[in-house]
C-alpha cells in the first residue's frame, strides 16, 4: 500500500502535464521539518520523498539510502550517479558504526605521469574531460554491498522508484533547467551521440525529463545486481565508450572493482564524538585536526563570525589543509600517519605559532583557482529505530566527464582529477598534492567528502554532510561549531553564509554577505586576504532534539528538501 502510494506520487510528478506553470518548483520543497519518527534530507525533493516512502514501507535507513542514491542518479544527474563513487557512514540503533568506501579507483593501466606532456607539464583538462578522466565507478558495488550487510527490503524494491522516474520522466525545476542549459555545449562536445539531456531548444522549468536508456541500465542492476553493471551489456557499453575515445578502463577493471568496509575516524570534541570518513577521504582526518586545533579556545566568547573567531578557524583550516596536501592519500597505497595527525598533542604543536594578532602565511607556490564545478551530493537519513546514514556521492565536476555512456544513459565521472597530476600543481579545486596522492594503478584518489555522524554523550545527535569539493570539510566544520559552540538553531547553522580557507591559495573565501564590512576590514588588518565567491556547500543535516524528535534542515542554496514522518 505504501509502495503503491509512492508509485502514485511518482506517476503524478511524472505525468502531471496539467501543471504548465513556468513559475516556482513543480513540487513542494521543505527546508525545515520536525518529525517524531524518521527523516530524509537530500538535494532533491523527489529523492527525499522516495526515501520517506521506503522508510514507511518498512525499510531501514540503509534501504532508504540505496533507493535515494539510485533516485538521485535520475533526478539529480549533475551529481547523483551510478557512474561515480562515494562514501557512507552508518550508525545503527545500538551505536555500532561502519564506513563504506565505494570511491572510484584508477584503472590498472593508469600511471603516475599520465596527465603530463613530453616536457613534464600537466596537459590542461586531460584529467577532467573525456574518458581518460574516468575512474572505475564504485556506486553500484557499494549499494549492493550495503544492501547485503544491512538491507531489510528486497533489492528490487529499492530500484523501482528510480526506474519509474527514468521511464516516466519528471518535471524539472528552474534551477535544473538552468544547469542543464549551461552545460549543453559540454554535452555536445563530449558525446558522440545525443543523450537525453541534450535539448536543442533551451530546457524550461517544468519540462519533462525522460531517460529511457538509463531506465534500461537500472533494470539490469535491479535484476542482476553487481553483474548488471560491471558485466554484460552495461560493461560492454562502458568499454565501447572508452574505445571510442582515449579511455583506458577495461572489462577486467570493471569486474575486479570492490567497495570496502573501513573503520571510521572517531574523535571527541567536548561531550561530542564525531564519526567520519577515513582515507581515501581526507574528510574525517582534516575535520578532526581542525576541531582539535580550535577546541582549547572559547569560540563562543570570541563571537559568531567575528574577526577573532574567523581568524582562529581560518588558521586551523590553513594548517590542516597544508597537512592534507602532504600526508593524505589512499592508505592502501601510502602510509598515512593518521594517529599522529589527529592527536591532540600534534594539534597544539601545529597551533603553537598561532597569533590572535596576525595572519599566518601559506608557502609561496602556484596558487590555484576555484572552478565553478564543485558538484557532489550528500544526504542524511534517520529511520524510526534510530539507525542513521550519512552518505556523500559524486561524479566530481558537474555531470562528471560530461560523457554519457551511449546506450546506457548515465554520466561517467571525472574523478581522476582528484589525484595530484603533478606535485604542487593545483587540481580544479585549487588543491595541491604530493607523493601521497600520486596516480597509481588501482589506487583511490584522495577525496574531501565528509559524511559525518555525531554523538552527544553517547546518543545520536547529528547527521551531516555536504557537497563542495575542497569546501566540504570546512562547511561541516562550521555547521557543527555553529550548533555546538555558537548555539545556533539548526536552520541558521545550515543556512548561514560560510567562509573557507584551504592553505593554498592563501585567502579566506567568503560567500556574499557572510561577514560585515567591519569584520572584513579587521581580518585584512591581521594580514588576511578576503575574497568573495559563489556558494559554499549545500548541507543536509538532521538533529536529534532534546525531546527525541528529529529536525531536518535542507540547505537553501538549492532545491534541497526534507521529508519525514
Ligand atoms: N570529487 C570531490 C571529492 O571527492 O572531494
Whole-Å CA distances, 132 to 111, 194, 241, 246, 422: 12, 20, 11, 6, 16
Atom of ligand 1 nearest to the CA of 470: 5
Instruction: Tell me, using a 6 A CB cutoff, whether residue 395 lines ligand 1.
Output: no
Q: Give, using CA atoms, the residue closest to atom 1 of ligand 1.
A: 396
Selected catalytic residue, list 35, 217, 376, 394: 376
User: What pLDDT is attached to residue 23?
Assistant: 56
Atom index in ligand 1 nearest the CA of residue 445 equals 4
Q: In sequence order, which residues have a C-beta less than 8 Å from that of residue 81 and are 6 or more positions away?
A: 72, 73, 137, 139, 393, 394, 395, 400, 410, 411, 413
DSSP-assigned letter for residue 497: -
What is the CA(448)–ligand 1 centre distance, in A? 5
Residue 376: active-site member: yes
What are the DSSP calls for 393-414, one per residue? EE-SSTTTTSPBPTTT--BPP-
CA 104 – ligand 1 centroid, Å? 10
Cα distances from 357 to residues 143, 281, 307, in angstroms, run 49, 33, 10
Q: Enumerate the β-bridge partners of residue 170.
A: 209
Residue 394, ligand 1, Cβ within 6 A = yes
Q: Which residues contact 306 (CB under 8 A, 6 or more apart)?
A: 519
Exposed, middle or buried: residue 2 (CB in 10 Å: 0-12, 13-18, 19+)?
A: middle
Going by C-alpha positions, the residue among 493, 462, 491 that lies closest to residue 478 is: 493
* Separation of alpha carbons 95 and 190, rounded Å: 45
Residue 219 and residue 167 in contact, taking contact as beta carbons nearer than 8 Å: no
Peptide bond connecting 280 to the previous residue in cis, omega within 30 degrees of 0: yes
Classify strands 388-394 and 85-91 as parallel, antiparallel or unpaired: antiparallel
Cα four-point dihedral sign 283, 176, 45, 481: positive
List CB contacts of 410: < 8 A, sequence separation 6 or more.
73, 77, 81, 82, 83, 214, 217, 404
Task: Identify the H or E element spanning 380.
Answer: strand 376-382
Our answer on whether the CB atom of 448 is closer than 6 Å to any ligand 1 atom is yes
CB-CB contact of 20 with 550 (8 Å):
no
Phi, psi of 387 (to 5 degrees): -70, 140
CA 291, 293, 296, 301 torsion: positive or negative? negative
State the residue for C-alpha cell 575542497.
470
**Residue 377 Cβ contacting ligand 1 at under 6 Å:** no
Atom index in ligand 1 nearest the CA of residue 472 equals 5
Q: Among residues 131, 124, 460, 138, which one has the least CA distance to residue 275?
A: 460
pLDDT at site 374: 65
DSSP 6-74: HHHHHHHHHH-TT----SS-SS---SEEEESS-EEEESSHHHHHHHHHHHHTT--HHHHHHHHHHHHHH
pLDDT at 424: 79
- List phi, psi (to 5°) of 341: -65, -35
Strands 452-456 and 508-511: unpaired
366, three cell numbers: 602556484
Q: What confidence score (pLDDT) does residue 432 get?
A: 78
The per-residue pLDDT string of the chain (565 residues; one tens digit each, 9 = 90 and over) reads 344 444 444 443 333 333 434 457 889 999 999 999 999 999 999 999 999 999 999 999 999 999 999 999 999 999 999 999 999 999 999 999 999 999 999 999 999 999 999 999 999 999 998 899 999 999 999 999 999 999 999 999 999 999 999 999 999 999 999 999 999 999 999 999 999 999 999 999 999 999 999 999 999 999 999 999 999 999 999 999 999 999 999 999 999 999 999 999 999 999 999 999 999 999 999 999 999 999 999 999 999 999 999 999 999 999 999 999 999 999 999 999 999 999 999 999 999 999 999 998 886 323 233 344 567 999 999 999 999 999 999 999 999 999 999 999 999 999 999 999 988 787 878 787 788 999 999 999 999 999 999 999 999 999 999 999 999 999 999 999 999 999 999 999 999 999 999 998 999 999 999 999 999 999 999 999 999 999 999 999 999 999 999 999 999 999 999 999 9
Q: Please name the residue that has the C-alpha cell 564524538.
A: 273
Amino acid at each position: 500500500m505504501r509502495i503503491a502510494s509512492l508509485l502514485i506520487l511518482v506517476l503524478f510528478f511524472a505525468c502531471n502535464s496539467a501543471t504548465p506553470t513556468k513559475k516556482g518548483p513543480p513540487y513542494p520543497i521543505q527546508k525545515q521539518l520536525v518529525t517524531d519518527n524518521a527523516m530524509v534530507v537530500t538535494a532533491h525533493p523527489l529523492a527525499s520523498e522516495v526515501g520517506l516512502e521506503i522508510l514507511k514501507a518498512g525499510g531501514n535507513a540503509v534501504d532508504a539510502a540505496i533507493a535515494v542514491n539510485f533516485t538521485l542518479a535520475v533526478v539529480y544527474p549533475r551529481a547523483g550517479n551510478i557512474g561515480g563513487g562515494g562514501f557512507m557512514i552508518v550508525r545503527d540503533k545500538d551505536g555500532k558504526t561502519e564506513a563504506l568506501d565505494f570511491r572510484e579507483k584508477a584503472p590498472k593501466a593508469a600511471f603516475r605521469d599520465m596527465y603530463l606532456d613530453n616536457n613534464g607539464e600537466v596537459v590542461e583538462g586531460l584529467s577532467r574531460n573525456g574518458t581518460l578522466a574516468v575512474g572505475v565507478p564504485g556506486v553500484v558495488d557499494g549499494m549492493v554491498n550495503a544492501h547485503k550487510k544491512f538491507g531489510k527490503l528486497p533489492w528490487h524494491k529499492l530500484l523501482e522508484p528510480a526506474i519509474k522516474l527514468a521511464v516516466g520522466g519528471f518535471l524539472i525545476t528552474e534551477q535544473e533547467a538552468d544547469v542543464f542549459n549551461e552545460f549543453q555545449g559540454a554535452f555536445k562536445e563530449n558525446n558522440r551521440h545525443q543523450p537525453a539531456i541534450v535539448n536543442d531548444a533551451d530546457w524550461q522549468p517544468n519540462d519533462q525529463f525522460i531517460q529511457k536508456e538509463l531506465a534500461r541500465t537500472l533494470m539490469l542492476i535491479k535484476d542482476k545486481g553487481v553483474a548488471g553493471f560491471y558485466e554484460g551489456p552495461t560493461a560492454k557499453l562502458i568499454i565501447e565508450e572508452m574505445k571510442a575515445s582515449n579511455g583506458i578502463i577495461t572489462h577486467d577493471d570493471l569486474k575486479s572493482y570492490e567497495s570496502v568496509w573501513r573503520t571510521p575516524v572517531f574523535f571527541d570534541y567536548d561531550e561530542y564524538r564525531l564519526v567520519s570518513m577515513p582515507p581515501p577521504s581526507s574528510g574525517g582526518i582534516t575535520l578532526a585536526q581542525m576541531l582539535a586545533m580550535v577546541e582549547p579556545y572559547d569560540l563562543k566568547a570570541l563571537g559568531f563570525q567575528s574577526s577573532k573567531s574567523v581568524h582562529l578557524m581560518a588558521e586551523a583550516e590553513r594548517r590542516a589543509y597544508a597537512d592534507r596536501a602532504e600526508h593524505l592519500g589512499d592508505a592502501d597505497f601510502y602510509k598515512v600517519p593518521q594517529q599522529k595527525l589527529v592527536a591532540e598533542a600534534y594539534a597544539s604543536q601545529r597551533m603553537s605559532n598561532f597569533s590572535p594578532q596576525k595572519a599566518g602565511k601559506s608557502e609561496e607556490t602556484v596558487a590555484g583557482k576555484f572552478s565553478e564545478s564543485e558538484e557532489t551530493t550528500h544526504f542524511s537519513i534517520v529511520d524510526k529505530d534510530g539507525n542513521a546514514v550519512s552518505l556523500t556521492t559524486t561524479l566530481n565536476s558537474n555531470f562528471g566527464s560530461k560523457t554519457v555512456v551511449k546506450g546506457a544513459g548515465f554520466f561517467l565521472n571525472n574523478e581522476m582529477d582528484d589525484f595530484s597530476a603533478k606535485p604542487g600543481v593545483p587540481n580544479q579545486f585549487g588543491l595541491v598534492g604530493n607523493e601521497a596522492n600520486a596516480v597509481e594503478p588501482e589506487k583511490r584518489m584522495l577525496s574531501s567528502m565528509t559524511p559525518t555522524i555525531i554523538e552527544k554523550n553517547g546518543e545520536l545527535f547529528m547527521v551531516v554532510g555536504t557537497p563542495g569539493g575542497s569546501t566540504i570539510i570546512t562547511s561541516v566544520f562550521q555547521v557543527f561549531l555553529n550548533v555546538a559552540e555558537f548555539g545556533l538553531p539548526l536552520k541558521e547553522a545550515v543556512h548561514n553564509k560560510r567562509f573557507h580557507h584551504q592553505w593554498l591559495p592563501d585567502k579566506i573565501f567568503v560567500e556574499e554577505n557572510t561577514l560585515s564590512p567591519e569584520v572584513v576590514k579587521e581580518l585584512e588588518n591581521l594580514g588576511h586576504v578576503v575574497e568573495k565567491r559563489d556558494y559554499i556547500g549545500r548541507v543536509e543535516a538532521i538533529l536529534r532534539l532534546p525531546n527525541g524528535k528529529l529536525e531536518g534542515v535542507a540547505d537553501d542554496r538549492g532545491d534541497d528538501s526534507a521529508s519525514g514522518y
